[in-house]
Structure 1
């Protein structure tokens, strides 16, 4: 069967298809689509694909020359704790990643092992898989190098409905205008919601507002529960730090030496010297180190040897946190226990509301800072030889980001604007109501998800402190995400799956790409449902969205022993969202007990028929019948 061809490979080709529009007081509309997606992030891509599977035409407007967001820019170690908690198009992406490595290298290869069932991948492979998914439909148009500036004049809004959007073609420097029935904000910054006048939050809420653990200004040792001196738990405008997710390698045949940046400033990194020599870090292991071991490390230091103890890596692991990727590469992120790593706190605070000129300048500053950090670790003679030698083994991967000096093209914007939507997702929405139990259940769930409440630092290293403000991780349990987190209070045809409605700590768990992909998929389905129903996003039937999500393989509520391939999956999902299956397991093949039937009859107000018998029928059969009658 001949595959459909999607005309979007080159921006120049697209200009021929959709001519650019000169800037004018009333620009001529270039083209109209069912759905216009701002941001070629994974969420934006999944929104377009899910809409295409419902027969809707969408346009993706991407500012850079590549789609894929962070998945295509170094974030190859997928952030998810319970892998079955999120499925749908995200799981399809994961399975395609694994299939790529199996096809390219063989099922028993090291590459397949290192891809961790498809959850770990090289940046180029992540981008390729997303491109392959897009190419399989003719209903998605992608325009690259299209910049949306978050200004009201770039949207035409009538009666609380967005009619059209104006963007800058960065190649031709001409303005272009596109109309659509529904608009989706898939930007990391929340630029579309801001231009539409939707209220949003920045910074951190205080503890008194929602009684969230570790809310507001907080100093906390890594992996410790206690809060340190300086903690106020008060609200502020601090934004968690950004970095670049590097793709490093020790393979000499594929290793590019780390260049010394032109703006190199040694003074930015000198505090690292004492950390390396003493072993000091911001984890609980350092704070609780016995004095005898500290004294022993002083002696080792005098001998030019590395300190010992819990979490005492001898080299680059002090600069970056490494996760193995296929083909001898690593996803190099900020080191959680380091007081100085690839994050650059404080300086990024203006990013969410700044224009692109400022953002580009900061991205260049961040790039120079990170390259300078690695260069310092490899070459500064004030650092011990054992440390420099370990760092020197690593370099940039020569076959990644080849059009950008082997450096990621996109900064890791962990958090931008957070919409004030119909539901505000808080830390409590991800925390169990009882020990080991489920978090609060949302009947309007559009995806299950599971990651820690995870925030990076908001301030640089401070004199006299051995911890960074705002750097924390707090365990959660698999939770449900309500549809209302992406729904604005007023605009009738706007959805925001990425700048979702949440507190800082609520956003700190939602902000992972698996969850964003799932929210994007739901946004595409919701947008299609809005078009089909003729209702605004605030009144679209959520059950219709959920039915299509289940049909597309999404998990709305997580169970350990049921996946989308199970014949009872839909029934379990719908009954589970009613709160009638509160355990983590369904045990579908077990015989149903009399007490269970009685409980379900009490909850549903229904009476089981004679063919559903205790100790004879299976739980799956009883759940299937309940589902058929309790719609």
Structure 2
């Protein structure tokens, strides 16, 4: 998909909105201040922070311009049980972040509710606390945010928050270069280089760079796990028993239960524009002094959760398997099972939606999960032993204090993906094809959450889209996958919504990888400025040399 003219744009609807729990956005107004820096970074994610730090370390002026009030994206918004894969290939500033987390928890004052020696030290693949390497991979949301804010302060980085890109006319290009961006407040930002560090790819899209959404077909790139995957059950996130989908069991005329699509899932291997499910990663607490009971949300409708009752009635009892422990008797609670926190099928319009529509979608996800928790805590149809155990938990009182203890950031697992001269696919991830110009490495499993919930030909409910494929060796990520085509934009780097198939993005989309690619993007941006060239013309051999000096891991 592509938009091209002198002012390239994605249309948005006007009006004041709230997004991701952050309020106060002003509607478009008269021209405001003009601000300039060598490098302008749009977005407040973990990638944005790392890109800014590296640019400043390399002697360039930099500004972060972001809609968010809180920095760090999903890393500081509930995803504390880090998806790392092979930790040996996490280097540079990303490793520095996890070292600083380690130092945070070396301070006894960080263990307010739990003694350090009582913490189970469970992590993914290795212990949470790696004393030998002085890193820690599991953490509370506020600990991550503190580390990000300290990095910003130490490097004297200017951050403009609650600044929303004017996606209709706010990106101005001259000779295939971004000259400036403007926000809905009317503020103009000019720079030599720009980095889109958002989960949505809004700057990339508004600059007219080609992108895609949804799933490619299996034929597009010859990928085994592409497109519709009916009957593929790699995780436990499917219906393992025959569960009736109708309001009155056995009676289709009664209508479908909430959350089940009435349309067919599509032909196996066919592409579509559907998006893997989103959720809020929840930070729960079991400490009596630090938990907030689950409350009934506005518009609560217990019929929305009837399908969960049938799942429990089928004998399923895996509810607590993804209550992953983080310090101080808290969790990173993620989706698990056939009916959980993933709001399947309710995010398809999100990637290209206006701010107002995204607000509606994020609000709907929040209400869905709030209602789910209240339902499990109070409804008499929940098995007694399950409900008793669930009610040991509540929202963590000392997290997200200015957002009713609810995470700031919806877990946008996938939105737009750039289409550049090099598209990362499953072939590169699984080692079948070489990458000659790596700027970072990934290693996590090929992983997608479910995309849709439908009725099978046998008349039962089933989920589709979830897959998990083992990646045996760390793999390199191409520099060309984080830069647009030269014919489209020559001073933009995209380390988050990079050029990748849906299948490959299932592995790449991990927060440590975003940090790694952001550091490499900033390094390349500085080199392009120094050499007065485009990002596409950066000398790769020199870039590789600089990344190695920065202790980035770019080959196994």
**TM-score, structure 1 normalization:** 0.74
Indicate yes or no: 2:414 matched with 1:415.
yes
Task: Determine the structure 2 residue equivalent to 1:297.
Answer: none
Higher helix share: 1
Say if 2:519 is the partner of 1:507. no
Alignment coverage as a number of residue pairs: 487
Given that 1:88 and 1:552 are in contact with CA atoms closer than 8 Å, whether structure 2 keeps it comes out as: yes
Structure-2 change in CA distance of 1:112 and 1:134 (3 Å): farther
- For 1:278, the equivalent position in structure 2 comes to 314
Aligned counterparts, 1:151-162, within 5 A: 151=168, 153-162=169-178
- Aligned partner (choices 302, 325, 330) of residue 266 of structure 1: 302
Given the alignment, which residue of 166, 189, 200 partners 2:200?
189
Shift of the alpha carbon at 1:513? 0.4
> Which has the higher relative contact order, 1 or 2, with Cα contacts under 8 A spaced 6 or more apart?
2
- The answer for unaligned runs of 5 or more in structure 2 is 1-25, 123-127, 131-135, 241-264
Matched-pair contact (CA < 8 Å) for 1:120–1:325: yes
Which one of 207, 223, 232 corresponds to residue 268 of structure 2? 232
1:529 aligns with 2:527: yes
Could you tell me which of 191, 210, 217 is aligned with 1:199?
A: 210
Bigger radius of gyration among the two: 1
Give the secondary-structure state (helix, strand or coil) at the position aligned to 1:91: helix
Provide the residue aligned with 2:398 in structure 1. Answer: 399
**SS in structure 2 at match of 1:258:** coil
After TM superposition, give the deviation of residue 461 of structure 1 in Å: 5.0
Aligned to 2:435: 442
- Corresponding residue of 1:574: none
What secondary structure sits across from 1:182 in the alignment? Answer: strand
Matched, 1:131 2:149: yes
Q: Is the 8 A contact 1:101 1:112 kept in 2?
A: no
- Structure 2 counterpart of 1:454, from 434, 447, 458: 447
Give the one of 81, 93, 100 matched to 1:77: 81
The structural deviation recorded for 1:222 is 2.9
User: Does 1:317 find its partner at 2:328?
Assistant: no
How far apart in 2 are the matches of 1:28 and 1:401? 31
Question: Do the aligned partners of 1:204 and 1:216 also contact (CA within 8 Å) in 2?
Answer: yes
Residue 69 of structure 2 is aligned with which of 45, 65, 68? 65
In the alignment, the residues of structure 2 paired with residue 538 and residue 368 of structure 1 have an alpha-carbon distance, to the nearest angstrom, of 44
Q: Check the 8 A contact 1:339/1:466 in 2, yes or no.
A: no
2:367 alignment partner, SS class: helix
Does residue 488 of structure 1 match 2:499? no
Q: Distance in 2 between matches of 1:56 and 1:366?
A: 40
Per the alignment, residue 7 of structure 2 pairs with: none
Per-residue deviation, residues 220-268 of structure 1 (Å, max 9, x unmatched) = 21349x9x99761101111111110110011111110011111211111
RMSD: 2.4
Q: Is the 8 A contact 1:98 1:112 kept in 2?
A: no
What is the distance in 1 between the residues matched to 2:405 and 2:38?
Answer: 37
- 1:18-43 per-residue CA deviation (whole Å, 9 max, x = no partner) reads xx99944xx46512100000001011
Please state how far the C-alpha of 1:85 moved relative to its aligned partner.
1.6
Unaligned runs of 5+ in 1: 1-19, 169-173, 281-311, 434-439, 559-631
Aligned counterparts of 1:215 and 1:466: Cα–Cα separation in 2: 22
Residues 29-68 of structure 1 mapped to structure 2, 5 A cutoff? 30-68=34-72
By how many angstroms is 1:403 displaced? 0.3
Are 1:557 and 2:550 counterparts?
no
Give the one of 517, 520, 536 matched to 1:538: 536
Aligned in 2, Cα 1:533/1:110: closer, same or farther, shift over 3 Å? farther
Offset, 1:527: 0.7
Instruction: Confirm or deny that 1:163 pairs with 2:172.
Output: no
Q: How far, CA to CA, are the matches of 1:497 and 1:111 in structure 2?
A: 35
Larger CA deviation: 261-270 vs 192-201: 261-270
Within the alignment, does 1:109 sit opposite 2:117 as a pair? yes
2:223 is aligned with 1:212 = yes
Runs (4+) of structure 1 exceeding 6 A deviation are none
Q: Do 1:249 and 1:395's aligned partners in 2 also have CA atoms closer than 8 Å?
A: yes
CA distance in structure 2 between the partners assigned to 1:465 and 1:498 by the alignment: 38
The answer for the alignment partner of 1:121 in structure 2 is 139
* Secondary structure in 1 matching 2:524: helix
Alpha-carbon contact 2:35-2:187 (below 8 Å) kept: no
